[in-house]
Amino acid sequence: MKRLIFAGNWKMHHGPESARRLIEAWMPGWRPSAGREAWFFPPAPAIATVAQMLRDHSGCAVGVQNVHWEASGAFTGETSVAIAREAGATLALVGHSERRHVFGETDAECARKVRAVLAGEMTPVLCVGETLTEREAGQTEAVVRRHLSALDGLAGDELARVVIAYEPVWAIGTGRTAKPEDANEVQRVIRAALMPSQVILYGGSVKPDNVAALVAQPHVNGVLVGGASIDPAQWSAITSATAD
């Protein structure tokens, strides 16, 4: 049975109270089953609320959208792995395209974050993907492999704990989605570069009307969803999708 993960990145939406309302509205439609998981990445102040609400619900997990690689210190505005864990997070996004292109996060910084997350006994979700200019120049594979360099030197057991999210930048929040077969091909490349059993998600304008075709692809283990994950009705429809 293929592992199927539905991950929702709320970005800068929903504080604790609105997060509570969203989870309450979504919960009745969630039908947990073997191999299906729902992951939530709320803003840091809402992590504890979401984690508490999902504590006894099978297949659900909570993550943090960003971490610093240092354990503590004078890093105003940052969140350490230990603090995220204390709040209830067991997952962490690393290298999301907005972190890379808006905040200037580098591959070297991503590498340090991945190692900090692994050391903190959490699951890193490393985001990789090309811009439209890079895609049109035929650089998709080269860019993805460069982003994957953040994992260089990891032992096999460490690499097995990393989840990859392929998110073509040109498809994020634009309404444009990679064709299922194109997403599958890039994710095949990722799997070949890492491990055959690597867990790989697709992200980029995922909606209720395209999610089933995406998760049906053999190299796609699930989706990383942005805007549609902050609407209970759309999110419920997405997390109800099957890979059949």
The whole-number pLDDT of residue 136 equals 87
* pLDDT class of 31 with cuts at 50, 70, 90: confident
CA 233 to chain centre: 20
Res. 243 pLDDT band, cuts 50 70 90 = low
Give the active site residue among 105, 109, 167, 219.
167
Give the integer Cα–Cα distance in Å for 25 and 200. Answer: 28
pLDDT in tens, 3-26: 999 999 999 999 999 999 999 999
**For residue 72, what are its two tokens?**
């503590």
Per-residue model confidence as pLDDT tens digits over 102-153: 999 999 999 999 999 999 999 999 999 999 899 889 999 999 999 999 999 9
Six-digit token string for 15: 């504080």
What six digits make up the tokens of 201?
């998600």
Residue 99 in this model has a pLDDT that exceeds 60: yes
The mean pLDDT value for 198-219 works out to: 93
**pLDDT of 183:** 85
Nearest Cα neighbor of 231 from 31, 93, 26, 52 is 26
> How many CA atoms are closer than 13 Å to the CA of 200, on its beta-carbon side?
28
Confidence of residue 242 (pLDDT cuts 50, 70, 90): confident
> pLDDT confidence of 35, banded at 50, 70, 90?
confident
The contacts of residue 213 (CB under 8 Å, 6+ apart) are 180
**Residue 177 above 80 pLDDT?**
no
DSSP letters of 129-145?
Answer: ---HHHHHTT-HHHHHH
- What is the band of 73 on the pLDDT scale with cuts at 50, 70, 90? very high
Mean pLDDT over each residue of the chain, to the nearest integer: 94
Q: Structural domain boundaries of the chain?
A: 4-239
Rounded alpha-carbon distances, angstroms, from residue 51 to 42, 66, 85:
10, 16, 10
Per-residue pLDDT band at 244 (split at 50, 70, 90): low
37 catalytic residue (yes or no):
no
Which residue shows structure tokens 């040109």? 170
Structure tokens at 187: 């994710």
Whole-Å CA distances, 91 to 7, 9, 65, 197:
11, 12, 9, 19
CB 10 within 8 A of CB 47: no
Coil, helix or strand at residue 70 = coil
Report helix, strand or coil for 191: helix
Residue 41 in contact with residue 64, Cβ under 8 Å? yes
- What torsion do the CA atoms of 104, 105, 108, 113 make, to the nearest 10 degrees? 160
* Architecture of the CATH domain 4-239: Alpha-Beta Barrel (3.20)
- Which one-letter amino acid corresponds to residue 244? D
Active site residue 68: no
Which amino acid makes up residue 135? R
**Annotated active-site residue in 96, 98, 105, 147:** 96
